[in-house]
A and B are shown apart, each in its own frame.
Chain A
Amino acid sequence: MGVTVSQYLAVSALLFAIGVAGVLLRRNMLVVLMSVELMLNAANLAFVTFARMLGGVEGQVIVLFVMAVAAAEVAVGLAIVLVVFRTGETTNVEDVSSMKW
C-alpha cells in the first residue's frame, strides 16, 4: 500500500495553500519570503509527482531550474529586505507604506 499520486498532490496543494496564507496573513517580510518559497516548493513537489506518474524525468529537471530561479529570487529578496531595513529600520510590511493613493 504505497502513497498514491493523489496523496502527493494533496500534500503539494496543502503546502501551496499554507504558503498563500502565509503571504497574505503574516506581516514580517522575511516570513512572507519564506512563504513564497514554500509555494515554489509545493510546485516542485507537484512536478516530481507528475514526473513519477508519467514515468519521465522531465519534471525532475524542471525542479532543478525552479530551484535555481528560487535561489536567485531569494538572494534579491533578502537584499531588498535589507535595503528596506536600512532606510526605514523595519521589516514589517505594514510599516512600509509611505505612498498612498
Chain B
Amino acid sequence: MLLAYLPILIWILLCAGLALAIVFLSHVLGRKRPTGAKLSPYECGITPVGDARSRFPIKFYIIAVVFLVFDIEAAFLYPWAVIYKKLALVGLLEMAVFMAVLLVGYLYLWKKRVFDWED
C-alpha cells in the first residue's frame, strides 16, 4: 500500500536534490566580491537605523500577559456554554463564581492603572 506513494517520494527527493545542488554549486562556483552595500541587511531597501532588538515600553508586555491570562480563562466558557441547559441553576452559579473571581483580577488591574495607556 505504501508502495503506491513511491513515485511521490522519488519526486520529492529529486526536487530537494536539485534545489540543494543549485544552491551548493552557486556557492562553490560563484565569485564573491562583498561590498558594503551588498552586506547590508536590506540591499536595495532602507538603511537600518540602530539595533533591531531595542527595548520597548513595559506596557506592551503587561497588556500581552493580561491578554494571555484572560484569553485562556475564556476557554472555560465554551464547554460550559455547550451543556449550559443541562447544568441548570448550579452550573449558572458556578460560572458566576468563576466570573466573580475573574472580576477581582480585573478590578485589581484597573486600580493598578494597567489599562491607562497615557501617562
Contacts and interface: CB of A to CB of B under 8 A. Distances in A.
- Say whether chain A's binding surface is mostly helix, strand, loop, or mixed: helix
A10 B19 CA distance: 32
Interface in A51-76: 61, 64, 67-68, 71-72, 74-75
B103 to A, nearest CB: 17
Interface residues of A, number: 12
B76 A64 contact: yes
Contact of A72 (B58, B61, B69): B69
Nearest to A85: B55
B72 A67 contact: yes
A68 B71 CA distance: 9
- Say whether chain B's binding surface is mostly helix, strand, loop, or mixed: helix
A9 to B, nearest CB: 22
A83 to B, nearest CB: 12
Interface residues of B, number: 12
Contacts of B65: 75, 78-79
B106 to A, nearest CB: 15
A79 B69 CA distance: 13
B61 A64 contact: no
A2 to B, nearest CB: 13
A24 interface: no
Nearest to A70: B72
A73 B58 CA distance: 19
20 contacts: A61-B79, A64-B75, A64-B76, A64-B79, A67-B72, A67-B75, A68-B73, A68-B75, A68-B76, A71-B68, A71-B69, A71-B71, A71-B72, A72-B69, A75-B69, A78-B61, A78-B65, A79-B65, A82-B58, A82-B61
Interface of B: 1, 58, 61, 65, 68-69, 71-73, 75-76, 79
